[in-house]
Structure 1
Amino acid sequence: MRVGHSLILVLVVFSSYGKSFNYTSCDQAKQPKFLSSCCDVQNHDKAIKACRKSLFSNNSSSTSNRESPNLKSERVALHACIAECSFKTNGFLLANGSINEEVLQKSYQQRYKNDPIMSQLMVNSLKRCTDYALKRAQQSQWMHTKGECNYHPAILLACIMEQVYVNCPATKWKNTSDCTAMRKYLIACDDVESNRK
């Protein structure tokens, strides 16, 4: 999974709409269908909704600030800021900008305490993505301008969600042609494994 694909997946995870999937190649593939329509994953984070509302409110009142991105038009920046805000709110982001993996893992275990398969899948996905997300966040720092949010949480979240959907349990998977195409895209474009070797 390349950095650009990580951020596209964040857009998909946080968005509430979907388009029909058109699988061509990693570099040419269109935005995948909204992922939760393929894998029934309980993902009701109140912090995300609160952060989105707060960011839009704050961004509207500071549109004259040239250093802040226009979050209404810059969707990648918006979702990076939502992820950062959510991670801060939930205690997953330390003051130095690094991820508190232990707290994040405990949160996943608590959220899915009645579903041991999903709990284990979330924890395994976190473990697989930790080093990858840190490396990608460091590699993509040059893309960010002053005033933008920390992209590390967004890249980590996108990677985790991608791993969850690639490995979605059969009982939660909606086996449609769009979902099958999306899964092929995720597997074909996944370089998390190749970066671990």
Structure 2
Amino acid sequence: HLLVTSWVLAGDEDCAPFKSNERHWDCCRPVNLTVKKFSNNTKTCVEKLPLPTRQPGDSFTAVKHRVSCLVECVFLENGMLTEDKTLDKDAIKELYSTNDKELAAVVDDAVKDCLDSHKEDIEDSMECKSGGLQFTNCVERAIFTNCPSGYWNSSKECTDFKAKL
């Protein structure tokens, strides 16, 4: 599940308005856009690079670096990277394409903006520098913050969470 990175990288639990059984991705349904298309090859990467669990004393940076490599593997397995491990813009645009008119403009803008900006978030110290994690986080954030009203859950928790972004 590619988008599982969100909970790993969520940071301080004091910032999250959700109870343990609630999920921020329930606020905007299209945030799960890519999961179905990626699910077939994700298992291979999870077997190669098991998803890290945060233990007391673990460095947030170390966990983020491992998740970055896991996402890079998923992108490789799904043909989202070129031979030199940069994002394949055409493959990514195809992955995120939708016939839903309400959603298409938001998704297209998010993909375009994030393809242009994701490299700024790649840390020099990271082992896996394809930018898959940074791109995914950027797209999820952009879709979430611009979620079409037909997909938005207007609960207090969701509204409060969106206000924090």
Which bracket does the TM-score occupy, shorter chain normalised?
A: 0.7 to 0.9
Q: Give how far 1:177 is off.
A: 1.2
Q: Give how far 1:49 is off.
A: 6.3
Q: Which residue of 2 aligns with 1:97?
A: 85
Say how many residue pairs are matched.
Answer: 149
1:39 aligns with 2:28: yes
Say if 1:90 and 1:117 are closer, same or farther in 2 by CA, change over 3 A: farther
Q: Which residue of 1 aligns with 2:48?
A: 58
Identity of aligned residues (%): 19
Unaligned runs of 5+ in 2: 55-61
Contact 2:17 2:160 in 1 (8 A): no
Q: Structure 1: how far apart are the matches of 2:63 and 2:40?
A: 15
SS of residue paired to 1:170: coil
AA aligned to 1:153 is G
Q: Give how far 1:57 is off.
A: 2.8
1:76 aligns with 2:64: yes
Q: Which residue of 1 aligns with 2:5?
A: 11
Q: Which residue of 1 aligns with 2:57?
A: none
1:141 aligns with 2:124: yes
1:101-141 Cα shifts (integer Å, max 9, x gaps): 122112211xx22x12222211110111222211221xx11
Q: Structure 2: how far apart are the matches of 1:101 and 1:171?
A: 28
Query: TM-score normalised to the size of structure 1?
Result: 0.62
Say if 1:54 and 1:72 are closer, same or farther in 2 by CA, change over 3 A: farther
1:32-69 Cα shifts (integer Å, max 9, x gaps): 76332100114333535643x33443347xxxxxxxxx
1:132 aligns with 2:122: no
Say if 1:177 and 1:48 are closer, same or farther in 2 by CA, change over 3 A: same
Query: TM-score normalised to the size of structure 2?
Result: 0.73
Larger radius of gyration: 1
Q: Which residue of 2 aligns with 1:162?
A: 141
Out of 155, 158, 163, which is 1:176 matched to? 155
SS of residue paired to 2:136: helix
Say if 1:77 and 1:162 are closer, same or farther in 2 by CA, change over 3 A: same
RMSD over equivalenced CA pairs, Å: 3.1
Q: Structure 1: how far apart are the matches of 2:72 and 2:140?
A: 16
Q: Give how far 1:171 is off.
A: 0.9
SS of residue paired to 2:85: coil
